[in-house]
Amino acid sequence: MADKVLLPLARRFSKVSPNTLTWSALVCAAFAGIGFLFRGVLPLLFGALFVFLNALLDALDGKVAKITGKASRRGDFLDHILDRYADVLILGGITLGPFCYQWPWLGLLAIIGVLLTSYMGTQAQAVGAGRIYAGVLGRADRLVILFGAALLQAVYDPNSLAVLGIDPARYTVLAWTMALFAVLGNLTAIQRAVATWRRLT
């Protein structure tokens, strides 16, 4: 389904280097992180927009590489490195911003889960078990959830004045999103570790 949208776009960007798209995705992630550092509707919409652009460019770089015959191990390596930096920039912006600063441990656990999810997938490939993308929360899913959560925060509580939940778990929309990433990210990392272990035996 996504290919119906991505392939025509990839053809339009066929003259652009896939690595340029990868670097552009990182810049978008940095802008998203900056947007989440501030209160208000406009910063949240700014952050959401650049989360979307990061996701789009991250999907496009691989498609462009394939249709132009420029796919390479070096490009794949760069993509994985910059994706991790992008994840940290976006989630770090939320963690340090007004929507999660009271609960920095949620952001920390979310970042750990995200990084370990990626690590387990690439480590499986490193030990000869093949690359593993399985699990409940992949990067594309995470970016879609984050985009929606940022919009919901902008509509419901753009100034970080309200919290949702029952004591002692009462957080903003974006803080709840970090809690979700903390749980599902680490669960996904465990799922991939178990899948790798089974392949090796």
Residue 165 structural domain:
2-200
Q: For residue 110, is pLDDT > 70?
A: yes
CB atoms within 10 A of CB 194: 12
106: closest CA among 187, 10, 38, 174?
174
73 by Cβ neighbours in 10 Å (0-12 / 13-18 / 19+) ranks as: exposed
Secondary structure (3-state) at 165: strand
Residue-level pLDDT at 135? 86
pTM of the predicted model, to two decimals? 0.94
Please write the tens of the pLDDT for every residue from 47-79: 999 999 999 999 999 999 999 999 999 999 999
Q: Give the largest CA-CA distance in the chain.
A: 55
Q: For residue 201, is pLDDT > 90?
A: no
Distance CA 27, CA 106 (A): 24
Please write the tens of the pLDDT for every residue from 114-131: 999 999 988 998 888 888
Q: For residue 1, is pLDDT > 80?
A: no
Domain count, the chain: 1
Domain containing residue 177: CATH number: 1.20.120.1760
Q: Are 176 and 164 in contact (CB under 8 A)?
A: yes
